[in-house]
Amino acid sequence: MSSQDCEIARFNIPEGTMLLGNAWAIHRDPNLWEDPTTFKPERFQGVDVDVCYNYKYIPFGVGRRACPREGLASHVIQLAIASLIQCFEWERINEKKSRYDRRDRYCRG
């Protein structure tokens, strides 16, 4: 909710306007991300996602109303994925290789 009249991206926003950030669009914006829809976990390597990567990475929201349990959720997700990887044999059903395929490097043998 805007607390005063302001301007955002050349739009005049009157005081009291409800504003919703479109995280879906931000996370897929090619002006912000290289190949936004490609699975490239290495894009986060060495990046401090705690500061929302300059507001372009906001799965838990940002600011005063951001998710208060982001830390818990992140740990639980890691644990869940690690358990799935450990407890099941995984194989691909579509062998199409992407240029970001890292299997050769990490899963030999």
Task: Give the interface size with ligand HEM as a residue count (CB under 6 A).
Answer: 11
CB 74 to ligand HEM: min, Å: 8
CB 67 to ligand HEM: min, Å: 3
CA dihedral (86, 88, 93, 97) in degrees, to 10, reads 10
Residue 67 interacts with ligand HEM (CB under 6 A): yes or no: yes
Residue 61 interacts with ligand HEM (CB under 6 A): yes or no: yes
Alpha-carbon span 13 to 16, nearest angstrom: 9
Contact present, 26 and 32 (Cβ < 8 Å): yes
Q: What angle do CA 56, 58, 63 make, to 5 degrees?
A: 105
CB 27 to ligand HEM: min, Å: 11
Binding-site residues, please? 67
Contact set with ligand HEM (CB under 6 A): 59-61, 65-69, 72-73, 77
